[in-house]
Amino acid sequence: MYKRLFLAITLPAPIKKILYEYHQSYSFDDVRWTMPEHLHITLYFFGDLDERVVPFLVTMLRDVFYDAQPFNLQFDKMRYFPNEEAPRMIWAQFTGGPQFEALVKAIDKIAQAFRQPGEQHPVRAPLAHVTLCRFKETPKEMPILKELDIEDVNVHRAQLLSSKLGVNGPRYYLVESFSLSENRIV
């Protein structure tokens, strides 16, 4: 049995409200907007992993998060993903500094241990993002996405979640929670 796994960061309520209200200015056909309680920043997407390896993944992630420092993520831009020609989603993309990049690099090294030989991860750079909606079909018209004024997100912890995609949207299940070490001296 496989689990669809990713690392997520909980969003503060005011940011969830801004992101949820964002869709009111758009009228796409065949789109499913993410409910406010499901809005989160995806830090790293592992994809489908055999559930037998999940305990090993959790142990390795604990070590990575123990060695990591808290960091901030800054809102970067709104974007169609994977591109404007054939979008499947609208993302609010975030960027981070060196601590974020080092953390994602360490997580990516771990993820490589769980990939099948020759399997490539679909995202080659750290793309912290919030999925605002999923398109059922490519929209006929692609309006320019409005930018938002969103405060920085201070990251002190992350959650390993599993998701099951369904007709009423995804359902999320907590696998493990990780704290970034605030007391570690660098």
**DSSP letters for the chain:** -EEEEEEEEEPPHHHHHHHHHHGGG---SSEEEPPGGG-EEEEEEEEEEEGGGHHHHHHHHHHHHHHPPPEEEEEEEEEEES-SSS-SEEEEEEEE-HHHHHHHHHHHHHHHHTSPTT---S--S--EEEEEEEESS--S--PPPPP-----EEESEEEEEEEE--TT--EEEEEEEEE--SS---
pLDDT in tens, 114-172: 876 665 555 455 689 999 998 888 888 888 899 999 999 999 999 999 998 877 778 89
- Domain for residue 186, yes or no? no
91, 131 Cβ separation under 8 angstroms: yes
- Domain for residue 122, yes or no? yes
What is the domain range of residue 101? 2-179
Query: What integer pLDDT is reported at residue 118 of this predicted model?
Result: 62
78, pLDDT greater than 80: yes
Q: Count how many domains the chain has.
A: 1
Q: pTM of the full predicted structure?
A: 0.89
- Domain for residue 136, yes or no? yes
CA–CA–CA angle 120, 6, 127 (5° rounding):
65
183, 166 Cβ separation under 8 angstroms: no
- Domain for residue 56, yes or no? yes
pLDDT in tens, 17-65: 999 888 887 877 788 888 889 999 999 999 899 999 999 999 999 999 9
Query: What integer pLDDT is reported at residue 123 of this predicted model?
Result: 46
Backbone angles phi, psi at 22, to 5 degrees: -55, -40
- Domain for residue 71, yes or no? yes
Query: CA-to-CA distance for 155 and 180, rounded, in angstroms?
Result: 8
- Domain for residue 175, yes or no? yes
Query: CA-to-CA distance for 116 and 103, rounded, in angstroms?
Result: 22
pLDDT in tens, 99-111: 999 999 999 999 8
Query: What integer pLDDT is reported at residue 14 of this predicted model?
Result: 94
- Domain for residue 184, yes or no? no
CATH no. for residue 88?
A: 3.90.1140.10
